[in-house]
Amino acid sequence: MRISKYFKLSAMLTLVALAGCTKLDESYTSTVSADQAASALGANGVGLLLGSAYADLITPFVSDQGAIFSLEENSTDESLVPTRGGDWDDNGVWRVVHNHTWNADHSQVLSVYNDLNKLNFDATNVLAFKPSKEQAAEARFLRAYALYYLLDLYNQFPFRNPGDNLLNAPKVYKGPEAIQFIIDELTAILPDLGAGNSNTQANPSSAKALLMNCYLNRGAFNNRQSPTFDDADMQQVITLGTSIISSGKYTFANKYFSNFNRTNGNSPELIWAFPSSSGLTVNNPSVNTRWMMGFHYNEWVGQAPNAGWNGFSTTGDFYKSFGASGQTIDYSLNDTLVDTRIGRRRLSDSLTTALSGIRPGFLVGQQYGPDGTPLKDRKGNPLSFDPTIAPTMIETGNNLEVTGIRVAKYVPDFSVENGDKYYSSNPGNWFVFYRYPEVLLMVAEAYLRQATPNPTAAMALVNTLRTARGAVPVTSLALVNPTNVDDPNTMLAERGRELYWESVRRTDLIRYGVFLTPWDYKTTDDPKYLVFPVPNQALAVNPNLTQNPGY
């Protein structure tokens, strides 16, 4: 009797308990499964995924000055970040990039690796969602762009096919196989890219420009210590470049800095850029970091002492490379025309002057406010930038706020019609990936590097550009001066003058065989620094990666 009562009771409770049973499956809310993404997002889904791949360009290439820009520019003579008393020590992270003493735990080496692979992943993922031929080509272009930078920086890249199990270690491409893979990808997609694509999308010219990068650098990627260049590759560069030049789509902008100001979206030089508009908060590439990172705290009276972060500078030697063809250049800024690309004191081809006194280009010597008042630093000393930086890159003197020449390549967005709102966030400047002059310079370089060099053809191209920039034409053109990387009379210097602070300098110096030569604040070097190490964290989880020699 008692037992049956217990039995009934436990049966009842079991029923109650079972009724409460759930399968414990997680039900999606703000997120969805892959299957749901494929079905629920419908026809727009692929476009949304492709949008993410484009947005992945922002962090590594634009908004974070400690990403691609740092690895490709601070590691060269074009840029450095001196520690200024209480500022910019940041655990030495900037100095080790400039004096070539980084290691496999460097935070920027890791974050760039992860950021580029995020682009690699998101672009690959587009291919798993039945994209149109055109969308697939755009995604593969973006992936190739990420792979090109991974190869350039780390000499290898991991690769997954769409739908691969993400818990498994992927294949790794390295060496000649790697660059060939990127070339094959780009060659394959070129016919699928819409000729009518805008310059904010992957387009045939951007794919050709990237392909030219690949062919031009193949000899260096395969042997960074002593690059050799195959004639067939150089002919590819010339053919691809000529097809862009002869397309008639691109021409020189009237003013150099209109490629970088808040209306640079209209520039006829842009081949591929990341769009923006003043005040846009969504997916804004945040080009403002490019000026804030160097400007002094008091650079603009309207926002002093927060008008800049007082960090990035360039070296005096690089500045001197603007004195081409017998012209000498000093820091006195006599406003004699040397080359519009250097910028001129208080002369502006932008909207800047009226509001700020900041002129685009290289900022050296006394800085002025909008009404011509000389500016002061935070200690009350004249705000006058001094080209000399302490050899240790640790400034401790009374002038620690003003050492180093600053660079205003991207021109601050004051958006006159709206007041002064977009100086430090949400500016309208587009970010430039490829400009027409880079194509010209690559073709010219290929003429010099082909089996039978053709300096005449090279100089003709270079001089078109120089004329457009208000510089005198050159009459002779060497590739490089191996004992002085900043010799003004070289092809390398011409690239530096046109493309400074556009994240190509490290690749250039390696291709020209001078990356290991000493320059300011880097006295010795080791060939291992021709590539960055694979981050230790990445190495630990993917056994297919191999650490680069020496690390």
- Which residue intervals of 419-535 are DSSP H helices? 436-449, 455-468, 491-499, 505-511
- Return the number of the residue (18 or 195) whose C-beta is nearest another protein: 18
Long-range contacts of 457-460, Cβ-Cβ distance < 8 Å, separation of 24 or more? 458/491
Q: Write b or e for each residue in 437-446: b if 16 or more Cβ atoms lie within 10 A of its Cβ, otherwise e.
A: bbbbbbbbbb
Residue-by-residue DSSP string for 260-328: TSTTGGG-TTEEEEE---TT--TT---TTHHHHTTS-TTSSGGGTTSS-----BB-HHHHHTT--TT--
H helix or E strand, kind and range, residue 154: helix 133-154
- Return the number of the residue (55 or 516) whose C-beta is nearest another protein: 55
Contact 293, 428 (CB under 8 A): no
Q: Can you tell me the distance from the alpha carbon of 351 to that of 338, in angstroms, rounded to the nearest whole number? A: 22
Q: Which of 278, 286, 273, 261 shows the shortest CA–CA distance to 198?
A: 273
- Return the number of the residue (117 or 276) whose C-beta is nearest another protein: 117
- Return the number of the residue (121 or 512) whose C-beta is nearest another protein: 121
Tokens of 197: 């694509």
CB of 210 to another protein, least distance (A): 19
DSSP state of 512: T
CB of 146 to another protein, least distance (A): 8
- Return the number of the residue (148 or 436) whose C-beta is nearest another protein: 148
CB of 385 to another protein, least distance (A): 18
Amino acid type, 362: F
CB of 422 to another protein, least distance (A): 8
- Return the number of the residue (31 or 483) whose C-beta is nearest another protein: 31
- Return the number of the residue (288 or 340) whose C-beta is nearest another protein: 288
CB of 286 to another protein, least distance (A): 11
- Return the number of the residue (92 or 473) whose C-beta is nearest another protein: 92
SS3 333: coil
Contact 412, 431 (CB under 8 A): no
Q: Can you tell me the distance from the alpha carbon of 180 to that of 343, in angstroms, rounded to the nearest whole number? A: 40
- Return the number of the residue (31 or 246) whose C-beta is nearest another protein: 31
CB of 381 to another protein, least distance (A): 7
CB of 162 to another protein, least distance (A): 11
CB of 461 to another protein, least distance (A): 38
Tokens of 262: 């808040």
CB of 72 to another protein, least distance (A): 19
